[in-house]
Amino acid sequence: MNQYEDFAFIYDELMNEVDYNEWTNYIESIYKKENVKVKNILELACGTGNLTIPLAKRGYNVVGIDISEEMLSIAREKINKEGLDIVLLNQDMTQLDFDVYDMDCVLCGCDGFNYILDDVQLEELFIKVYSILKEEGLFVFDISSYFKLSNILHNNTFGENREDIAYIWENYFDENENLVEMNLAFFVKEDDKFKRFEETHYQRAYTNEEIVMLLKNANFKDIKVYKDFTFQRDDGEGERVFFIAKK
């Protein structure tokens, strides 16, 4: 299974319509609402650093972890350009090896946990996250919702035809396993030709109830489930669901 290899080098361009500054504002508004003082953040599945970098610029100490060396290589380039001091670790978060036990916040933005296909592994990760948070520390993450994966992506094909990049994105939703297989074919302009490459991604569709149960099993308290960058409880129709939980 190849994920975020060649794709890493065009990821930022394809995500250029996502406003990561607003996303960072939302994260900070969560800290404010929860009345938690945050300085040290561990960010899981940090990718090319789209949240890591704005958070570091706002004065947080951030450590970023990602399984894709290619995604981290882009993050490193951007961090060096900005002259920032951010530690990046190339790790599979399901085997998280992190021994600092007083983090104020553990963060995972933009559906990193949907890539954990096994709920037992996700629960084990939640237990590890609990152990590295300080008392009252915050766990903040979002997932692509069950509704989005099962109804919107479902068995549908999406595509985009830009000047220098085009892609075809085919989805197959397995209702028994609650897994979506995403077959991605990219076409990237190089000189006057287009190079084609493919990746296959698998994401697990978790219901809000499943995630809340896993959080409770890991001992988290004050669990909140918000819809699409708001502070409204998700009604099952949000596409990006945010979970906030306290140690």
Ligand X SMILES: C[S@@+](CC[C@H](N)C(=O)[O-])C[C@H]1O[C@@H](n2cnc3c(N)ncnc32)[C@H](O)[C@@H]1O
Interface residues with ligand X (CB under 6 A) are 4, 45-47, 50-51, 66-68, 71, 92-94, 109-112, 115
CA angle 151, 168, 171 (to 5 degrees): 30
CA distance 53 to 60: 10
Which residue, 99 or 192, is less far from ligand X as judged by CB? 99
Q: How far is the CB of 35 from ligand X (least distance, A)?
A: 25
Which residue, 123 or 136, is less far from ligand X as judged by CB? 123
Q: How far is the CB of 109 from ligand X (least distance, A)?
A: 5
Q: How far is the CB of 240 from ligand X (least distance, A)?
A: 11
Which residue, 61 or 136, is less far from ligand X as judged by CB? 61
Which residue, 29 or 221, is less far from ligand X as judged by CB? 29
Q: Tell me how far apart the terminal alpha carbons of the chain are, to the nearest angstrom.
A: 35
Q: How far is the CB of 8 from ligand X (least distance, A)?
A: 8
| Residue of this chain nearest to ligand X (CB atom) | 47
Residue 4 dihedral angles phi and psi, to the nearest 5°: 55, 45
Cβ 77 vs Cβ 68: under 8 Å: no
Residue 54 dihedral angles phi and psi, to the nearest 5°: -60, -35
Which residue, 57 or 233, is less far from ligand X as judged by CB? 57
**Residues contacting 54, CB < 8 A, separation 6+:** 20, 21, 24
Cβ 218 vs Cβ 141: under 8 Å: no
Q: How far is the CB of 233 from ligand X (least distance, A)?
A: 23
